[in-house]
Amino acid sequence: MKKIWVYAEEVQGEISKVTLELLSKAKELAKAFSHEVEIGAVLLTKGIGEMTETLEAYGAEVVYAGEDDRLEAYCHTTYAPVLARLIKKEDPDIFLFGATQIGSELAPTVAAIVKTGVAAHCVDLRIGDDGLLISEVPAFGGKIIGEILIPKCRPQMASIKPGTFIATESCVKCSVVKKIDLTGLEDADKRLIPLKTCVTKSEAKPIDEAEIVIAGGYGLCCSENWSRLQELAELLGGAAGSTRPCLDEGWADNEQTMIGTSGKSIRPKVYMGFGISGATHHICGMKDSGLVISINKDKNANIFGVSDYYAVSDVNEILPILIDLVRSSKATAAEKGEKECH
Ligand SMILES: Cc1cc2nc3c(=O)[nH]c(=O)nc-3n(C[C@H](O)[C@H](O)[C@H](O)COP(=O)(O)OP(=O)(O)OC[C@H]3O[C@@H](n4cnc5c(N)ncnc54)[C@H](O)[C@@H]3O)c2cc1C
C-alpha–C-alpha distance, residues 261 and 286, integer Å: 10
Residues 10 and 139 in one domain: yes
CA distances from 127 to 6, 156, 263 (A): 16, 11, 25
Beta carbons of 93 and 2 less than 8 angstroms apart? yes
pLDDT of residue 317: 96
pLDDT of residue 48: 92
Question: What integer is the mean pLDDT of 264-274?
Answer: 95
Name, in order, each residue with C-beta under 8 angstroms of 142's C-beta and a sequence gap of 6 or more.
Answer: 261, 279, 280, 281, 283, 284
pLDDT of residue 141: 67
Residues 35 and 99 in one domain: yes
pLDDT of residue 185: 80
C-alpha–C-alpha distance, residues 109 and 113, integer Å: 7
Res 70 pLDDT > 90: no
Residues 166 and 229 in one domain: no
Residues 121 and 154 in one domain: yes
Residues 174 and 271 in one domain: no
Residue 207 within any structural domain of the chain: no
Residues 53 and 122 in one domain: yes
Residues 315 and 244 in one domain: yes
Which CATH number does the domain housing residue 328 bear?
Answer: 3.40.50.1220
Residue 316 within any structural domain of the chain: yes
Full-model pTM: 0.80
Q: Count Cβ atoms below 10 Å from residue 101 Cβ, excluding itself.
A: 11
Question: What integer is the mean pLDDT of 304-327?
Answer: 96
Residues 139 and 261 in one domain: no
275 lines ligand 1 (CB under 6 A): yes
Residue 205 within any structural domain of the chain: no
Res 130 pLDDT > 70: yes
276 lines ligand 1 (CB under 6 A): yes
Residue 200 within any structural domain of the chain: no
Residue 192 within any structural domain of the chain: no
User: What are the φ/ψ torsions at residue 260 (nearest 5 degrees)?
Assistant: 140, -165
Res 298 pLDDT > 90: yes
pLDDT of residue 313: 96
Which CATH number does the domain housing residue 146 bear?
Answer: 3.40.50.620
Residue 97 within any structural domain of the chain: yes
pLDDT of residue 259: 95
Instruction: For the chain, give percent helix, strand, coil, nearest 5.
Output: 35, 25, 40
Res 294 pLDDT > 60: yes
Taking CB atoms within 8 Å and a gap of at least 24, the contacts of 194-203 are 194/72, 194/73, 194/74, 194/75, 196/73, 197/72, 197/73, 199/12, 202/254, 202/256
262 lines ligand 1 (CB under 6 A): yes
Q: Which of 139, 172, 187 is the last residue of a domain?
A: 187
pLDDT tens across 211-233, in order? 999 999 999 999 999 999 999 99
Q: Which of 187, 204, 228 is the last residue of a domain?
A: 187
168: left (phi over 0), alpha (psi -120 to 50) or beta: beta
Residue 134 within any structural domain of the chain: yes
Residues 173 and 248 in one domain: no
Q: How many residues does the chain have?
A: 342
Where helices occur in the chain by DSSP H, the ranges are 17-30, 51-57, 76-90, 101-114, 223-235, 244-248, 280-286, 315-341
Between β-strands 14-15 and 10-11, what pairing exists: parallel, antiparallel or unpaired? antiparallel
46: left (phi over 0), alpha (psi -120 to 50) or beta: alpha
Name, in order, each residue with C-beta under 8 angstroms of 222's C-beta and a sequence gap of 6 or more.
Answer: 251
Of 212 and 337, the one with more pLDDT: 212
As for how many domains the chain has, the answer is 2
Name, in order, each residue with C-beta under 8 angstroms of 310's C-beta and a sequence gap of 6 or more.
Answer: 293, 294, 295, 296, 301, 303, 304
* CA 215 to ligand 1 centroid distance, Å: 11
pLDDT tens across 44-54, in order? 999 998 999 99
Residues 160 and 242 in one domain: no
C-alpha–C-alpha distance, residues 135 and 121, integer Å: 9
Residues 115 and 37 in one domain: yes
Residue 262 within any structural domain of the chain: yes
Residues 251 and 116 in one domain: no
282 lines ligand 1 (CB under 6 A): yes
pLDDT tens across 27-44, in order? 999 999 998 999 999 999
Domain extent, residue 134, equals: 2-187
Res 341 pLDDT > 60: no
User: What are the φ/ψ torsions at residue 190 (nearest 5 degrees)?
Assistant: -100, 15
Radius of gyration of the chain (CA): 23
121 lines ligand 1 (CB under 6 A): no
pLDDT of residue 340: 61
Q: Which of 153, 187, 221 is the last residue of a domain?
A: 187
Instruction: Provide the mean pLDDT of the chain.
Output: 92
pLDDT of residue 87: 97
Beta carbons of 214 and 231 less than 8 angstroms apart? no
Res 342 pLDDT > 60: no
| Ligand 1 nearest atom to the CA of residue 218, by list position | 26
* CA 242 to ligand 1 centroid distance, Å: 9
C-alpha–C-alpha distance, residues 165 and 214, integer Å: 22
* CA 283 to ligand 1 centroid distance, Å: 10
Range scoring the smallest mean pLDDT among 195-209, 285-299, 308-322 = 195-209
